[in-house]
Amino acid sequence: MLKSLFNKWVFLVLMICVLVSLRRTPEKSIESETELTQPIFCVFLQRDLAQEDEASSGSILYLEYDYYRETCPEAEKIVNSRMAGIYEEDQDVSAGLLRLFFHDCFIRCVDFFCSSLTEGCDASLFLDDSNGNKSYLIERQAIQHTTLKGFDKIGLIKEELEMACPGVVSCADTLALATRDGILLAGGPYYPVFTGRRDSIRSYYQEAMAGVPGPDDNLNRILQLFSVRGFNERETVRAHNIGKISCQFIRSRLYKFKGTGQPDSTMTDDFLNEMRLNCQESNNISVDVAPAPMRSRKVTELTAGMSYYQGLTSSISAGAGFDTHYFHSLLKGRGLLYSDQQLMTDVKTADIVRAYASDDGRTFRVDFARAMVKLSILGVLYGSQGQVRTNCTLPVNNS
């Protein structure tokens, strides 16, 4: 029965994608991207979702395209318009929200008090459910999350949504929509966002501490963390591209890699020297264990850092944000993080890197769109589960 329902849903996804691709927007907006006239990625999306097992496909059946069409018909336009204004003032917001979205969706509740649905894209990262108890640690306080940015931007969008439709649009959906629009504004591909998520009633500090890949993780660790959430090797590699890395994520590799007191021995001397010029040694690098999310990062401190463009040799053009520059960097041995360069240590992942570097970026963009849809439906709350917060930071009874 579930399989039959899922097959019908997959057919609906394809039809929606075709209809969206035929759409013509009368004025310039986020949704006037090239991908709207190229439905091919939606066909690949359909194929990807059709291959999912029944367990992982269950939650998506409870989300809908344009879920708020009756309860808050202007919701997506509000997010779209507000994001356009935010991006005009701060173009780093796209990478920041992408990182924020990944961290929220990737946290998995694993203790026996949690049902299988209390994990994933549920805005638990925003929630302060400590009720003033300083000994109660919330998800946002995990070391993996201390450098995240974009909470305030989602807050601004949520305030406008509350003015239009009080208590209707969840924080989880607000983040999902804003992230997609930010990616579009940064030159990334369009992908459909299915809505109807509910917000978590608790945060998950311990799960946050254990669940996100770190900058110095080896490939086995990275693949394992993605695998338990249903992502294969290609989906792990395809989720890399934009952003700027703060020096705090780089320094341990340059000076005291994994407690050796020496730099990472796999780096060439010229690349090591270049990175040291950008990121000088600090007396306090203990925070360097904080992970870098899904290989799409943004600078998270007002200090020196390196963009992925700086990881290129002068003979390679950096191009736009969503092109193949990241993969060309890895082919040259110039991955900024140890965990980045680890993708070249296994035949399977290295072949995927080469494939993404071999064309104009179209292959990566199609795969990235599919990966984002899959990430966005990871362990969502729906129906009567969870709540819809009016203030993303506070539970409903404290809002």
Highest mean pLDDT among 118-122, 127-131, 238-242, 316-320: 127-131
Catalytic residue among 103, 145, 325, 328: 103
% of the chain residues with pLDDT over 70? 69
Q: Is the pLDDT of residue 83 over 90?
A: yes
Per-residue confidence (pLDDT) for residue 26, from 0 to 100: 33
Average pLDDT of the residues in 62-81:
95
Asked whether residue 293 is marked as a ligand-binding residue, the answer is no
Average pLDDT, the chain: 77
Please indicate whether residue 103 is annotated as part of the active site: yes
Question: pTM of the predicted model, to two decimals?
Answer: 0.79
- How confident is the model over 334-360, as pLDDT tens digits? 888 898 899 999 999 999 999 999 988
Residues in Cβ contact with 67 at an 8 Å cutoff, skipping those fewer than 6 apart: 173, 194, 195, 196
Asked whether residue 139 is marked as a ligand-binding residue, the answer is yes
Confidence of residue 283 (pLDDT cuts 50, 70, 90): low
Q: Is the pLDDT of residue 306 over 60?
A: no
Asked whether residue 122 is marked as a ligand-binding residue, the answer is yes
Angle separating helix axes 362-376 and 40-50, nearest 10 degrees: 50
Determine the Cα–Cα distance for residues 94 and 182; give it in Å rounded to an integer: 4
Confidence of residue 397 (pLDDT cuts 50, 70, 90): confident
- How confident is the model over 244-266, as pLDDT tens digits? 677 877 888 999 998 889 999 99
Asked whether residue 328 is marked as a ligand-binding residue, the answer is no
Pick from 355, 317, 329, 376: nearest CA to 106:
376
Asked whether residue 120 is marked as a ligand-binding residue, the answer is yes
Average pLDDT of the residues in 192-216:
87
DSSP 41-109: HHHHHHHHHHTS-HHHHTGGGG-EETTTTTT-TTHHHHHHHHHHHHHHH-TTHHHHHHHHHHHHHH---
